[in-house]
Structure 1
Amino acid sequence: MKVVTETKGQNSYSFQEFVEKREKLDWYRDEPFLQEMAKKYLRHDFNDIHEKILSFSPKVSGEWNRLAERLARPEVHPYMLHFDAFNNRIDRIVRPVETHQLEQGVFGEGLFSSKMSPWESFIKRMLIHQLGEAGVACPLTCTHGLVALLEQFPDDEYPELYDILMHTKEGEGGEFAIGAQYMSEIQGGSDLPANVLEAVPDGKYYRLYGNKFFCSVAHADYSVVTAKISESEKVSTFIVPSWLPGDKEREKRNSYEINRIKWKMGTAELPTAEIEYKGALAYPIGPKDKGIAVAVGIVLTLSRLEIGIACAGFMLRASREAELYSNFRTVFGKKVKDYPLSASKLRKIKSAAERTTAGAFKIYDLFLKLEQPLNPGLKSDHPLEIRKQLFNLRELVLLQKINVTQEGAEVLREAISIFGGHGVMEEFSSLPRIFRDVVVNEQWEGPRSLLLTQIYRDISRVVDWYPPREFVQGVLEGAPEETIQEFSVQLEELLQKPVLGEVTEASIEAAAEWDQFCTAFFKAYQETAL
């Protein structure tokens, strides 16, 4: 007698087709727009760098992406081990093996080495940022700032600074050191003049005493630290090694303690700590009592610039994966992409990604064209036209930082919605993790209100040699004349309104107008880049 076994209620649905296609994506080869931008700005260097990126990209898209996914799991997030078995204070930051593997691979590229062209490094970093923070993005950014600071202010009196430069830029024995920047204190945050960390002279060196409250990349080898020299009210800048020679192997830190690692909503793979300095040896760098200009003009400017590059990478990945899923998933008999509301979202996401990428390339192109683009200040000895270009760059970096982080959060949220309920599943998609990283980036290196204030003050201070209409024309070169005219009139009017000062109904309204103006103005800049 033949027995018939019925299988009722079984569901054979599988995501395997989507997963396999996503895993085979090459983040450069399969991103035509990124290649178009590279061809436009790299010009005669394109063919050579294009081949190098084609060789590099599968590593990021494949092996490094798999490492990033594994190290993002909450059970392997960094934690502190304050003492060893013999009660010695070691303050070891324990990180998963995947982080060490990824870190070795990323830093082993020598992205800031003299052997690599700036454009090659730029595109590679835009691809790396598509991993999300992954425990390497912020360290890369901070290391870039440290290298630039050391190059800007060489000092033969402190040969240690040259050794640190070589260790971070060119590597030693194949190992590249990692940099960090510790500036914020509990009472001030972005208000660096409020720093109270004290630098006490010790011969030609200094010893640091006090607390830093937000210290990302707490596992770094060297850090840029702001402090006030004893009996001074002005901030100076110092380079602080995490270990003195021979002490790293013994886990004996340079006279400071790590109180704890912070619990953050994003960049969770990155150890951000509170640090207590108890006489740490520090090397001064740059003009004494000009630490804020040094720190902001070089280190924070590069960090803000990098956030723009990162957001372009975030949006490109979000657009690519949302489009792939919408072409796979069928709902109520139609693919997700075939519903007008979904198609509208996909178009919005792609448009924002391309516009942000184009803007990032255009700003970086200006950055590379200018000689000594960092730390120029508003008053300099440069010819007037160069001063104007430097000012354009200064404001564009600020505008980019506040706008692409805000729009980045919106784009990531829209991309997540394309996935429906699966969009918020951490094991299904990287987008929730990257969304949280964007929100953190929006606060890092100065929140929106602070930078909007800085932009307004900057433009107000240069009207005698750079009138608003000329500034708008300079930034929006290539835009339609009516667009330039419209923004010129708006800017001139806003400079007469109480955007800053006491809180009144009029100032609140003016501040909201200023916020809206800066958003629209920067989007117009991005459009010209397209």
Structure 2
Amino acid sequence: MSAPPLPPFETHLVDNQPPEFAPRDLWADDVALREALGREGAGAYTGRVAAYGRLAGDELYALSFDAHRDKPRLRTHDRYGHRIDTVEFHPNYHRILQAAVEHGVAGLSWAEAAPGAHVARAALSYLHHQVEPGTSCPLTMTHAAVPVLRHAPALREWADKVAACRYDPRDAAIAAKPGVMLGMGMTEKQGGSDVRGNRTQATPGAGAGEYTLVGHKWFFSAPMCDGFLVLAQAPGGLSCFLLPRRLPDGTRNAFRLMRLKDKLGDWSNASSEVEFTGATAWLVGAEGRGIATILEMVMLTRLDCMLGSAAQMRMALAHALHHAAHRHAFGRRLLDQPLMRNVLTDLALESEAALALAMRVARAVDASPRDAREGALARVATAIGKYWVCKRAPAFVNEAQECLGGAGYVEESILPRLYRQAPLNSIWEGSGNIQCLDVLRALSREPECGAALLAELDEARGLDAAYDAALPALKEALSPQKIEEADARRLTERLALALQAAVLLRAGSPAAPAFCRSRLRGEHGLGFGTLPAALVDEALIARAL
């Protein structure tokens, strides 16, 4: 057929392009999320999570592009030479944070301490991270700080103002603010993950629980926050402290922001280097118990790393599916081409498994105070999932980019942002080796963790032949005499795949049989799109979007 005549001076018609991706209802599009919310005990929160899915896929998605492109700027001094140490952001950054805080992404678990609240907050975090992961950093730290702060009754106001679900970006003492945000400062130049090597000194002050800090932090996350949990060497050893940005009388605390990190991704959020020059801080927990005190926070932040990576996979998959459904090549839609269907089916399996495991861990965290077995499962499964899900995200996002071709490599698409962001969660809060060593530590030193893990896997027995065939060898590998440090990554990977399969099987997910055959039986190549032809299923693609 001949093309219609063009108006004068027009060179071509624009066709064979997909429509705009957004606005989009991220809740209505996501069958796996809807099922997981009810399955993991948060069905009572469906309305609230659904409302945030609509908001995130529309207004927040639109706001995120400028918030990401206009990187934060550090202003150390004002025009008159006064030290101010202020970080300036695009206004959209604050608008996105306000929406997240007020919908409970940081505080729901504590504002409504009822069964299912942690699972609902996990779903909110998953939806939020899909559209603006940079703001997820302060949201995650603010959420995770609350149980740590509750170790210090004198700091109750801080925990209460997190639970207030109110956002106030002003640089002011917290007495004047309806809600607060919290950051972290753990690592130093000479230590990295080995925080026992920290050299920042904490000297007891005049007030009860008050200390003066002198030292530095190599990564001081979200420096615009109202307060920061930091580690420093007190007379009794490495200890945890809350360091406020503003002292109770409104004066600036004695620390200096030296520079902002020039990061691969996470552009909308600021990470900094800082020096403490006699800064006031308050002890949280006991002297010498800093690592033990902070571990409760770390489990929650690692869960959010897992959720964040699952969210990035989900958004990348949604864009790949959207493009493939509307783009034609070689006379057919991309979605109708057998090899593309293989890639998309494989990505859909991986995405649903990542979300299923993260939400199962969220339920274990939610039930931990009431159920010892769930607490033990949360302890070990958080490290397993954090390692594996975060490790899979970069390759996953890259494969989704390939589905779009060159269009997935330009900044007008969200895919480059997701690709730069993807490695972060595997590094933050303990890189891969740290997670796998933590898995070994839990299995060797805390027998209840191994027992909870085996019980979880056993509950899916009999639901799939490939799954049942994989269990005996995995159980043998878990025996104490078989666990070797050099084998930690391989063991953690096998545990992650088995846990994902168990959750999918018990959920009755249509994705479960193909996941078990490909991931547990070995009917899969090294990359995505290597499923046996028999496992390529249009119904799984349709389920994914």
Residue matched to 1:91: 85
Separation (CA, whole Å) in 2 of partners of 1:194 and 1:447: 17
Q: How does 1:361-372 map to 2 (within 5 A)?
A: 361-371=359-369
- Corresponding position of 2:377: 392
Please identify, of 333-342 and 138-147, the stretch whose mean Cα deviation from structure 2 is larger.
333-342
AA aligned to 2:493 is: T
- Cα distance in 1, alignment partners of residues 366 and 239 from structure 2: 28
Counterpart residue number, 2:330:
332
Higher mean Cα deviation, 514-523 or 286-295?
Answer: 514-523
Moved more, 335-344 or 474-483: 474-483
In 1, Cα distance between equivalents of 2:386 and 2:364: 16
Which among 406, 409, 425 is matched to residue 421 of structure 1?
Answer: 406
Secondary structure of the 2:430 match is: coil
Cα distance in 1 for partners of 2:23, 2:98 equals: 24
Q: 1:246 to 1:332 in 2, by over 3 A?
A: farther
Query: Could you tell me how far 1:108 is from its partner in structure 2?
Result: 2.2
Instruction: State the secondary structure of the residue aligned to 2:420.
Output: helix
Show the counterpart of 2:320: 322
Alpha-carbon contact 2:191-2:198 (below 8 Å) kept: yes
Equivalent-residue separation in structure 2 for 1:346 and 1:136 (angstroms): 29
Confirm whether residue 121 of structure 1 aligns to residue 121 of structure 2: yes
Distance verdict in 2 for CA 1:392–1:36, change over 3 Å: closer
How far off its partner does 1:294 sit?
1.0
Shift, 1:224, TM fit: 0.4
Counterpart position of 1:163: 157
Structure 1 counterpart of 2:431 = 447
Question: Counterparts of 1:61-460 in structure 2 under 5 Å?
Answer: 61-73=57-69, 76-111=70-105, 112-113=107-108, 114-116=110-112, 117-133=117-133, 135-151=134-150, 153-155=151-153, 158=154, 161-170=155-164, 175-203=178-206, 204=208, 205-230=210-235, 232=236, 234-247=237-250, 253-295=252-294, 297-371=295-369, 386=372, 389-427=374-412, 429-460=413-444
* CA shift for structure 1 position 7: 5.6
Question: CA 1:5 to 1:402, structure 2 compared with 1: closer, same or farther past 3 Å?
Answer: closer
Preserved CA contact (<8 Å) 2:476 2:482: no
Within 2, Cα distance between the matches of 1:52 and 1:467? 33
- CA contact under 8 A between 1:184 and 1:192: conserved in structure 2? yes
- After alignment, is 270-279 or 315-324 more displaced? 315-324
- Deviation, structure 1 residue 358: 0.9
Q: Which amino acid aligns with 1:275?
A: V
Distance in 1 between the 2:17 and 2:246 partners?
48
Amino acid at match of 2:303: L
> Relative contact order (alpha carbons < 8 A, sep ≥ 6): 1 or 2 greater?
2
Matches of 1:124 and 1:201 in 2, distance apart?
Answer: 40
Match of 1:37 in 2: 36
Distance in 2, Cα, partners of 1:346 & 1:179: 39
Q: Which amino acid aligns with 2:188?
A: E
Which residue of structure 2 aligns with residue 521 of structure 1? Answer: 495
Alpha-carbon spacing, 1:66–1:496, altered in 2? closer, same or farther (3 Å): same
Q: Answer yes or no: is the 8 Å Cα contact 1:132–1:433 preserved in 2.
A: no
Report the residue type matching 2:341 in the other structure: A
Paired residue type of 2:265: G
CA shift, 1:5, in A, is 8.9
Contact 1:130 1:317 in 2 (8 A): yes
Q: Which amino acid aligns with 1:413?
A: N
| Partner AA of 1:478 in structure 2 | E
- Report whether the alignment pairs 1:10 with 2:11: yes
**What's the CA shift string for 1:165-194, capped at 9, x where partnerless?**
222221569742111111000001111111
Aligned length: 477
Alpha carbons 1:322, 1:419 under 8 Å: kept = yes
Separation in structure 1 between the aligned mates of residue 471 and residue 454 of structure 2, nearest angstrom: 6
Map of 2:51 onto structure 1: 55
Q: Give TM-score, length-normalised by structure 1.
A: 0.85
Equivalent position amino acid for 1:131 in 2: V
Q: Which residue of 1 aligns with 2:470?
A: 483
**Deviation per CA, 1:31-64, whole angstroms, max 9, x where unpaired?**
122112122223xx62x42222232322111111
Offset at residue 477 of structure 1 (A): 2.8
Alpha carbons 1:318, 1:412 under 8 Å: kept: yes
Instruction: Name the CA shift for 1:93/1:145 in 2 (closer, same or farther; >3 Å).
Output: same
| 1:327-356 per-position Cα deviation (integer Å, ceiling 9, x unaligned) | 111122222222222111111111011111
SS at match of 1:87: coil
- Tell me how far apart the structure 2 counterparts of residues 84 and 404 of structure 1 sit (CA, whole Å): 44
Q: Which amino acid aligns with 1:525?
A: L
TM-score between the two structures when normalised by the length of structure 2: 0.83
Is the CA contact 1:472–1:488 (under 8 Å) kept in the aligned structure 2? Answer: no
Compared CA separation, residues 351 and 80, structure 1 to 2 (3 A): same
Deviation at 1:110, TM superposition (A): 3.7
> Cα–Cα, structure 1 residues 171 and 390, in superposed 2: closer, same or farther, change >3 Å?
closer
Amino acid of the residue matched to residue 342 of structure 1? Answer: M
The C-alpha deviation readout for 1:395-422, integer Å capped at 9, x for no partner, is 1100111100111112111111100011
Provide the C-alpha distance between the structure 1 equivalents of 2:123 and 2:457, rounded to a whole number of angstroms.
24
Q: Which amino acid aligns with 1:166?
A: D
Alignment partners' CA distance in 2, 1:15 and 1:278: 60
When residues 14 and 444 of structure 1 are mapped into structure 2, their CA distance, relative to the original with a 3 A threshold, is same
C-alpha change, 1:442 and 1:87, in structure 2 (3 Å) is: same
Q: Structure 1: how far apart are the matches of 2:370 and 2:239?
A: 21
1:435 positional shift:
2.0
1:30 shift after superposition: 1.5
Alpha-carbon distance in structure 1 between the residues aligned to 2:456 and 2:52: 34
Q: Secondary structure at the match of 2:19?
A: helix
Report the 3-state secondary structure (helix = DSSP H, G, I; strand = E; otherwise coil) of the residue aligned with 1:208: strand
* Secondary structure in structure 1 of the residue aligned to 2:13: coil
Aligned partner of 2:457: which letter? L
**Offset from partner CA, 1:297-343 (integer Å, 9 cap, x none):** 21111110111111222222222221110011112222222222211
SS of match in other structure, 1:187: coil
Compared CA separation, residues 453 and 495, structure 1 to 2 (3 A)? farther
Q: Which AA in structure 2 matches 1:369?
A: A
Matched AA of 1:254? N
* Distance of 1:521 and 1:467 partners within structure 2: 13
Q: Percent identity?
A: 24
Secondary structure (helix, strand or coil) at the match of 1:136 reads: helix
Change in Cα spacing, 1:210 to 1:348, as seen in structure 2 (3 Å) is same
Going from structure 1 to structure 2, the CA distance change for 1:471 and 1:122 (only over 3 Å counts) comes to closer
Q: Whole-Å Cα distance in 2 between the matches of residues 416 and 6 of structure 1?
A: 35
